[in-house]
Amino acid sequence: MEKKYLVLIIGVLIIAFGVYAYKYPPVKKEVDTNLEEDASLKGRDNGAGPSKLRMSLVQEMVDNYRNTQLVSIEDAPKNGVKDDSHSILFDLDTLKKFINDIEKGVKQVEPKSDPKLAIRMYYAAYPLVSKWNEPGYENLRNLLGDEITKQYERKHTLIMIPVIKNDKGIFADFNPYDKETYQGFPRRLKTGMQLFRVTDTTEVIGLNHGQLIPPKSTEGEAF
C-alpha cells in the first residue's frame, strides 16, 4: 500500500513540474555581447572581490613601456621631450566627483533611462607653455602659477571623456548634459577647422590635470 502511495506522489510531482515548465518556461538571460567579448571591459562588482594584478605583471608591463615607447619618444629628434612623464596621479575625490557628474547629468537629461556608461581615456600631450595664455587655452592657465606644472608642456597626460552605449550598441563619447550627443558627437572636420583657423569654444565634460610624474616627484612609486 505504501509503495502505491509513493508511486502516486511521484506521479503527481512529475505532472505538476511539467505543467509549471509549460506555463513558465526557462528564459535565457540576455547577455551584453559587447562587454562579454572584450574581457578588458569586465570588472563590475559581481561578488568576486576587488580586481587584482600580479605585481610581477605590472612591473613587466611598466618596463615594456619605458623601454620601448618612452625611449622612442625621448630619442625622437623632432620631439625635444626629455624626462617625459611615465605616470599620472588623480586623487580619489576628483575621480568620484567626475563619475558623479556624469551620472548626475544622465539623470537630469534622461531620468527614466539606465544606459551603459563608461570612461574613455585618451593618451594626450600638453601644448607648448607659450600658448597657455592665448585664447582657447583657458583650461591651462591655472598651471602657470606653479613652477612644476609649467614643466608639463609636451609631456604625456590623460584626458578622460564620458562614454555611453548608444542605440547601435556602440560605446560613443558624449556630453551627459547634452541630449543631442547621446548617440555620439558629430564628426569634427579637423582639417577644415585648422585650415580656416576657427577657434572652437565648445566645451565638453572631461577630466585632465592629474599630477605628472616627472616632473612631480617619483617618491612613493612602486614600479
DSSP conformation letters of 120-180: EEEEEEB--GGGTTSTT-GGGGGGGGSTTGGGGBT-EEEEEEEEEE-TTS-EEE--TT-GG
Peptide bond into 50 cis (omega under 30): no
pLDDT given for residue 38 in this prediction: 61
Cα 43 to Cα 39: distance, rounded to the nearest angstrom = 9
Cell numbers 618612452: residue: 70
Domain ranges, ordered by start, for the chain: 79-223
* C-alpha of 70 from chain center: 23
The whole-model pTM stands at: 0.72
Task: Give residue 75's pLDDT.
Answer: 81
CB 124 within 8 A of CB 157: yes
| H helices, E strands: number in the chain | 6, 5
Residue 210: count of CB within 10 angstroms of its CB: 18
pLDDT, residue 26, reads 56
CA angle 106/110/113 to nearest 5° reads 95
Radius of gyration of the chain (CA): 27
pLDDT at 4: 53
Q: What is the pLDDT of residue 79?
A: 64
Measured CA to CA, the distance from residue 165 to residue 180 in angstroms comes to: 14
CB 215 within 8 A of CB 83: yes
pLDDT tens series, the chain, 223 aa: 555 554 455 555 566 556 555 555 655 444 444 544 465 566 555 667 888 888 898 899 889 888 988 888 888 766 667 788 889 999 999 999 999 999 999 999 999 999 999 999 999 999 999 999 999 899 999 999 989 999 998 889 999 999 999 999 999 999 999 999 999 988 764 544 443 344 456 778 888 888 888 888 877 767 7
DSSP three-state, residue 55: helix
AA letter at 145: G
